[in-house]
Structure 1
């Protein structure tokens, strides 16, 4: 094992570039998967005839497919039908598709966790369905969804390493290139990237636990739900 050679300035800079790519891809995927996942989750929760069932079939299909298969599909299969993407775009697209399906279930479950009586009380007080969702259901559901959403984002960050199969220049890919220079670099390099993944993901895990603890304490301290008008922040129309 050659720790000194493996941790040379050039190798560390090269690994840092891989980490930046990993974080960039994860960030883009997180933003768009949260947007699309929220939309899909709300559509399933709303139980719109036909549309909700179609969304449910698509979501369940994607959730039960391995992410690696989706990555292969976006990079190798889509060009066969005229949709060509760069390595980074293919990786981001695959992650967004997969994570959107996973997050939609978290959103749907979060919405279902809100007591139905609040919806009935809001509607009977004169609020429309959209106003009820916007002012009463979504704010409460989002607070409950934060811990599992953060946990899913941790999984997404780790899943970026699967894009090594299509040569995305992320952390693991760059580590393999460093290892190719000298067989004595293998253990030091993998120990370093393992520490990096642990440091980033453990920090996010601590954040998720803190948010979950805060949410539980808020539920206990609140005891009961605020009046409809106070939650909505406006008089019913």
Structure 2
């Protein structure tokens, strides 16, 4: 093991550049998957004829597919039908597709956890179903969703490492490049990579606990 050589300034800069790509991909995937996941979760909860059934079909299909397959599909299969995406966009799209299905289940469970008595009281006071959903159910449900949502976002951040299979220049890709220069760098570089992932994920966990206390 060569910690001194592995942690040379140019190597650390190279790792941080890759980590920047990782965080950028994770950020956009979190934002868009949350939006799509909330929409899908609400549609499934609302039990709209045909629409809800289609949402169930899509969500259950995606949830039972490996993320790696979806990444391969967005990067290698979509160009065959005329949609060629750059590596970053392909990775983000794959993560959004996969994580949206997971988040939709969190949203649906959160909506179902709200006491039915509150819904009935809101409806009896003259609120429409959509008004009840927007003003009564969703605000309470979102507070209860914070811990599982943050856990899902942590998983999403870790899942970005799978984009190494399409040579996206993210953290794991840059780690492999450095490791290829000297076999003695492998353990030190993977330790550094682990610490980077841990720092961000631990910060998210702490934020989740604080939000949970604040909303309880």
- TM-score between the two structures when normalised by the length of structure 1: 0.89
2:23 aligned partner: 23
Q: Does residue 177 of structure 2 align to residue 177 of structure 1?
A: yes
1:192 aligned partner: 192
Measured after TM superposition, the shift of residue 149 of structure 1 is: 0.5
2:10 aligned partner: 10
The within-5 A match list for 1:67-106 is 67-106=67-106
Give, in whole Å, the separation in 2 of the partners of 1:65 and 1:94. 11
The within-5 A match list for 1:210-229 is 210-215=210-215, 218=216
Larger radius of gyration: 1
Q: Which moved more, 1:199-208 or 1:16-25?
A: 199-208
Measured after TM superposition, the shift of residue 207 of structure 1 is: 2.4
Question: What are the superposed Cα offsets for residues 116-165 of structure 1, whole Å, 9 maximum, x if unpaired?
Answer: 11111111111111211111111101100111101100000000000000
Where do 4+ consecutive residues of structure 1 move more than 4 Å?
none
Q: Is the 8 A contact 1:95 1:156 kept in 2?
A: yes
1:39 aligned partner: 39
Aligned residues: CA RMSD: 1.0
Give, in whole Å, the separation in 1 of the partners of 2:120 and 2:127. 10
Unaligned runs of 5+ in 1: 219-237
Measured after TM superposition, the shift of residue 31 of structure 1 is: 0.2
Q: Is the 8 A contact 2:63 2:98 kept in 1?
A: yes
Measured after TM superposition, the shift of residue 206 of structure 1 is: 2.4
Q: Is the 8 A contact 1:40 1:55 kept in 2?
A: yes
Give, in whole Å, the separation in 1 of the partners of 2:152 and 2:185. 32
Measured after TM superposition, the shift of residue 214 of structure 1 is: 4.5
User: Secondary structure of 2:29's partner?
Assistant: helix
Unaligned runs of 5+ in 2: none
2:129 aligned partner: 129
Question: What are the superposed Cα offsets for residues 139-195 of structure 1, whole Å, 9 maximum, x if unpaired?
Answer: 101100111101100000000000000001000100000111111111110111011
1:222 aligned partner: none
Q: Is the 8 A contact 2:143 2:212 kept in 1?
A: no
Question: What are the superposed Cα offsets for residues 60-102 of structure 1, whole Å, 9 maximum, x if unpaired?
Answer: 1100111000001111111111110001110000000000000
- TM-score between the two structures when normalised by the length of structure 2: 0.97
Q: Which moved more, 1:183-192 or 1:43-52?
A: 183-192
Q: Is the 8 A contact 1:148 1:208 kept in 2?
A: no
Task: Count matched residues.
Answer: 216
